[in-house]
Amino acid sequence: MKTIILLFNMLVLSVCIAQEKEYAVTKKGDTLYGKITRANSFLSPSKVRFKLKESNGNKRFLYPNGVETIYSLKGVDGECIIKSVYDKWFVKMIIDGKIKVYQQLDGVIFYTSKGHSEIKLTDFGGLNNRKDSHSRIRLLLKDNSEILKEFDALEGTQNNILYIIEKYNNLEE
């Protein structure tokens, strides 16, 4: 009996480990599995791209105009979901929920999406005007009057905006 339980546990563990793979989904819908690393250019460090080493040894570069999503486990960005925006930049998801918040890799520019909508530039915090930041985010919160009332009492700082989006998402679950 102990042997059967041990074998069953080993099977469950191997299935769980096997599902932990890095991958990229292309704009064409293909899923590419392999080790994903960041490949910065020394001539243009602001241009982020990724390199995928497939299990068969093939290597390819991943650019924002050809990739929809990257699921990274152990890269520079840790375990995260990375999306492409406007076919030009990669952004890392920093808040997941009904409202998703993304931050541009190697930058301080923020993007958001609500539900299944397109990711859009909704920059806030940093050097942005707090009133402008507040009004951009307010549009995302308008379907929850309780959260909107609390948000209207806050300044449009980066920390306040991230806090209120997290709170909104927790209430929507």
| Rounded-to-integer distance, Cα 141 and Cα 149, Å | 10
- Give the phi and the psi of residue 166 in degrees, each rounded to 5: -60, -45
87 exposure class (CB count in 10 Å sphere: 0-12, 13-18, 19+): exposed
Distance, C-alpha 162 to centroid of its chain: 14
pLDDT in tens, 29-40: 999 999 888 876
> In terms of DSSP bridges, do strands 67-75 and 23-26 run parallel, antiparallel, or are they unpaired?
antiparallel
pLDDT in tens, 38-54: 876 665 655 678 888 88
Q: Average the pLDDT over each of 15-19, 35-39, 109-113, 161-165 and give the range with the smallest value.
A: 15-19
By 3-state DSSP, what share of the chain in percent is helix, strand and coil, each rounded to 5?
A: 30, 35, 35
173 exposure class (CB count in 10 Å sphere: 0-12, 13-18, 19+): exposed
pTM here is 0.81
Among 138, 94, 100, residue whose Cα is nearest residue 119: 100
